Amino acid sequence: IKMGKVVLLRRALLALPRSLSRESLVEPEEGDTGPAQGSWFQYHVGQTLFHVVQVVLGYMVMLAVMSYNAWIFLGAIAGSTLGYFV
């Protein structure tokens, strides 16, 4: 999920118009052959959705660990270790 957020951030930065004035964000410039104006907003929405998924999964893991089951705790640690390694 974190890598997906990084990829979307890179694409959003590349899709930003050169000028961040209100007019350039609303109306495309004539002869503009770059990415479509406003596509940065779609990437930003994608980043937001990735963030929501990451937070929800984090809270679910926290609730599972708070069950004070040793096997679930060890599974969360092993999963975190394996996820970081991958």
Buried residues in 34-67 as b, exposed as e (16+ CB within 10 A):
eeebeebeebeebbeebeeeeeeeeeeeeeeeee
Contact 24, 17 (CB under 8 A): yes
Report yes or no on 32 lying in a domain: no
- Condensed to tens digits (0 to 9), the pLDDT of residues 43-82 reads 888 889 999 999 999 999 999 999 999 999 999 999 989 9
pLDDT average, residue stretch 12-33: 62
Number of domains in the chain: 1
Residues of the domain holding 68: 3-27+38-85
Predicted confidence at residue 3, as pLDDT, reads 82
Tokens read off for 19: 């000028």
Residue 40 in tokens: 């940065």
pLDDT at 21: 59
Q: How many CB atoms lie within 10 A of CB 12?
A: 19
